[in-house]
Structure 1
Amino acid sequence: MLSIISYGVGTIIGFLLIALLVFWIIQDITQKKHAVLRNYPVIGRLRYFFERQGEFFRQYFFSGDRDEMPFNRATRNWVYRTAKGLGGNIGFGSTNDLREPGSIIFVNAAFPVLAEDSLTIPPLVIGEGYCNKPFVARSIVNISGMSFGAISGPAVQALSKGAAEAGCWLNTGEGGLSPYHQAGNCDLIMQIGTAKYGIRDRDGKFSREKARELGEIVNAFEIKLSQGAKPGKGGVLPGIKVTTEIAKIRGIDAFVDSLSPNRHRDIANVDELLDQVALIRELSGRPVGIKTAIGGWQFINDVCDAILRRGLEFAPDYISVDGGEGGSGAAPQVLADHMSLPIAEALPRAVDALIESGLKERIKVVAAGKMVTPAKAAWALCIGADFVNTARGFMFSLGCIQAMRCHTNMCPTGITTHNKRLQRGLVVQEKYLRVANYAQNMNNEIEMIAHSCGLHHAREFRREHVRIVQTAGQSIAMNMLYPYPELKVSS
């Protein structure tokens, strides 16, 4: 009896498989979109399957530890170990090729600073003397802008709690201030994007009333002009990720693509930018900075000239310089690939312009753009940055596996999805500790580099403490590659 049933079930399954095969053959040879499928029905489907799976096979089986982009396996594994508190030690030598042009080499001191002689990194005050409520920033490494919407509620909540534990700030991103940002009671920077999400009225225009209200909650504001992933194009949040909750926070319709304008409608030139900086500072009493990618000398020079003409009270309290390699969200590939200077060129240009104008003490500098390791952060400090922001470094600390599905709402680690089933994998009480570990250990290892260079703390870094490989076997000191400019004397 059992054999007859088994035979019958097997026959049915076989018939269904044959029927499915016939269906696929008819479907493939009659469709008109794919030439491969018309000529090779059914078997041609393997081509598309392997194409989709190829990136995962390359990531885990075929690519070397230093081969992948945007972040290689060696870098990701360092972040994972650091976030878990396992340390950043390796054995048998480095796989980093020091012959590669652009490699960073720090100048070690013959007599490094002993641990007992080191000094605590002094906090920097942003906006001191120019606003009612200046911001005392304690950490060199901080969390760059990632909107609630681009990343999930549990991810933002873990970042907030981790930032509070580590003593660093959390940038809200351009999607507005959410309850998740406030979950940890950490230092917050409210980013104002081109769509004014979270700080706009019913007509979508800047709201003075909301600026005053937010001034009681956040530590500083940041006017976002552009970001490294897509300079000249506003934020992009696909409609599938615009939930009812997100739509309410942003003041837009749910499940409709959230497309920010490619610039602020009320800021068309440098003077209007400085007017907006001064207005928000006056309304809120908080420091106000700007975030921008750098395409050349013109913009930063124009900003400096306008400040000198109008007065220091119109200056932004900080400038966040984003390299063209930055970006954690959805972006057109052509802009991500080819628009804006990389941070290695953008940061020295911005800092030099401030030094020439005598504004470096007035305006703090934040560097961003793949700053996920202490070496890159220490390099930025050598150039003249005061702080370092990273988004993807903290995403790795949350468990990001670089699946590159951020824009699809199918993130397998629950970081960039609003699918509740997938979010279940991100346990806030576990991940916030990894966020804190990563921030603290980044700061600690930056200090370790400083001590190896003979410095008492990381804010003593200068350009002569780092060299950049030009060709195999030759490097140049950063102060030779980018000499310190002389202060311009006005006539």
Structure 2
Amino acid sequence: MIEMFETATPVLEALSTLFVFAIGLFVLLIVIVFIFDISQRKNAVLRNYPVIGHFRGIFSSLGEFFRQYFFAMDREEMPFNRAEREWVHRAANNTDTTVAFGSSKNLTPVGTVIFANCPFPTLDEDATETRPIAIGEGFCQNPYTAKSLFNISGMSFGAISKPAVLALSNGARMAGCWYNTGEGGLSPYHLEGGGDIVFQIGTAKYGVRDLEGNLSDEKLIEIAEYEQVKMFEIKMSQGAKPGKGGILPGAKVTEQIAQIRGIDAGEDSISPNRHLDIASTDDLLNMINHVRKVTGKPTGFKSVIGATDWLDDFFKEINKRGEALAPDFITLDSGDGGTGAAPMPLLDNVGLTIKETLPLLVDKLEQYGLKNRIKVITSGKLITPSEVAWALCAGADFITSARGFMFSIGCIQALKCNKNTCPTGITTHNKRLQKGLDPDNKATKVANYVHNMNHAVEVIAHSCGVSEPRKLNRNHVRIVQNNGRSIPMNELYPSQHLGGTV
């Protein structure tokens, strides 16, 4: 026993010495921080409250975590609440999406959407499959017949990671939907998945630009030769930052991304706030027709609507030139959209939301007799079946989502998309963080999300008494008013054309 005590004594002494040394280092560190805090002149809190003032920053950064997991109710969070995210996660995992004991959604706020179920719903045996819609048929060499009403919106390789692109592109193939490349150009990972692709031409023309940054017909032809590339979309503006081009922080501009985009690695990728060669409605029509002529594929444009007068000028010009020269589609984004880095003033306060602009755009198309010629694609926080069904009622032909599909492959709304520190590996190029994202597993979840979304929208359509979702119209949805009562959408937005393409 004595020998054991004698043997342990040096170890205890060493541990004691180490403990005292650690305490000394800790005290020294506090002294250094104290001296630095009271000496600096940039931060008043730290100067007045040295050392303990640092806890303010720590608690502020932890606030997002505690609000998300402990304090926020299911329907409180922004930009997407827990109930919405959970529905997407369950749909992506192909698990039970039913809930019990009543709705947790408050159905009385102004603007709430309520679908008008009919007394005699459509029986399953009377239901019909959602019909594919041809885009550009009769107006370009290679029209595109799109099968799915729900598709993947623009997310650039660069803004999101290699495994995320692989998951989305493979999932698109499995689900039979399209995947929009975003403005970052066409990567090998978009092609590897084998799904249909919509190539987006951003204001910097990444992937189809010459050395001076101008649109290159040679590169357009090169992209169009890929059979998977079905359409071209000219991006005028996007929901995250209307009136400003794309922003990719330099930390996310790897050598490969720089090569695809035609820029320098490690430097911020800042696109112009508009196309330098599009300064009028005439220029826009000219660009659309040039791209369609060069590629032979359906071509349209994407925009957030704020000012509306230009739409009349645009549609009048189309009718003057002839509908053959019209865009094959218009992608309408919402002023509250966006997955990447964006200035808060633009994100919060610029651009009208889809709830206002979608009915307006559809009515304008109907007014000028162009609704059947120009297909309407819409995006912007439409990640659940009720939102997708509302868009169909308002007159959309297709719905796309970016953040919904991010949730489907594991996004936890950490709000780190612009930091290259995404904990789920979706929006980071950090190899260690990307390891957690298995493209094969996530591709299946993408496909599940699409299939379950389409099925759930069909359920809403059948409850309203129609045989398939695209037969939904404005008679089928009511909007709650400030007096607490709801009125049919067709009374708010009267139009001869009440719904999408039928």
What TM-score do the two structures reach when normalised by structure 1? 0.98
Partner of residue 289, structure 2: 278
Match of 2:408 among 388, 397, 407: 397
Unaligned runs of 5+ residues in structure 1 are none
Aligned Cα root-mean-square deviation (Å): 1.1
Partner of residue 303, structure 1: 314
Match of 1:317 among 304, 309, 328: 328
Q: Is 1:126 matched with 2:99?
A: no
Q: How far 1:27 sits from its partner (Å)? A: 1.1
Q: Is the 8 A contact 1:160 1:186 kept in 2?
A: yes
Unaligned runs of 5+ residues in structure 2 are 1-9
Q: Is 1:366 matched with 2:377?
A: yes
Query: CA deviation digits over 1:185-210, x for unaligned, max 9?
Result: 10100000000000111111100011
Match of 1:210 among 195, 205, 219: 219
Q: Is 1:258 matched with 2:269?
A: yes
Q: How far 1:254 sits from its partner (Å)? A: 0.4
Q: How far 1:473 sits from its partner (Å)? A: 3.0
Match of 2:177 among 165, 168, 175: 168
Matches within 5 A, 1:380-395: 380-395=391-406
Match of 2:256 among 235, 245, 248: 245
- Aligned-partner SS, 1:441: helix
Query: CA deviation digits over 1:167-199, x for unaligned, max 9?
Result: 000000000000111111101000000000001
Q: Is 1:88 matched with 2:97?
A: yes
Q: How far 1:78 sits from its partner (Å)? A: 0.7
- Aligned-partner SS, 2:64: helix
* Aligned mates of 1:70, 1:107 — CA distance in 2: 27
AA at the equivalent of 1:235: G
Query: CA deviation digits over 1:87-109, x for unaligned, max 9?
Result: 31001011010001111100101
* Aligned mates of 2:236, 2:491 — CA distance in 1: 31
Q: Is 1:101 matched with 2:110?
A: yes
- Aligned-partner SS, 2:192: coil
Partner of residue 280, structure 2: 269
* Aligned mates of 2:113, 2:258 — CA distance in 1: 44
AA at the equivalent of 1:286: K
Partner of residue 147, structure 2: 138
AA at the equivalent of 2:458: E
* Aligned mates of 1:351, 1:301 — CA distance in 2: 12
Q: After alignment, is 392-401 or 293-302 more displaced?
A: 293-302
Q: Is 1:54 matched with 2:63?
A: yes
Partner of residue 64, structure 1: 73
Q: Is the 8 A contact 2:425 2:435 kept in 1?
A: yes
Larger-Rg structure: 2
Partner of residue 471, structure 2: 460
* Aligned mates of 1:258, 1:135 — CA distance in 2: 32
- Aligned-partner SS, 2:286: helix
Partner of residue 150, structure 1: 159
Q: How far 1:32 sits from its partner (Å)? A: 1.1
- Aligned-partner SS, 2:193: coil
AA at the equivalent of 1:387: F
Q: After alignment, is 352-361 or 209-218 more displaced?
A: 209-218
What TM-score do the two structures reach when normalised by structure 2? 0.96
Partner of residue 350, structure 1: 361
* Aligned mates of 1:70, 1:136 — CA distance in 2: 33
AA at the equivalent of 2:440: Q
Partner of residue 195, structure 1: 204
AA at the equivalent of 1:224: K
- Aligned-partner SS, 1:90: coil
Q: How far 1:485 sits from its partner (Å)? A: 5.2
AA at the equivalent of 1:425: G
Q: After alignment, is 350-359 or 35-44 more displaced?
A: 35-44
Q: How far 1:471 sits from its partner (Å)? A: 2.7
Q: How far 1:486 sits from its partner (Å)? A: 8.5
* Aligned mates of 2:395, 2:497 — CA distance in 1: 15
* Aligned mates of 1:300, 1:445 — CA distance in 2: 34
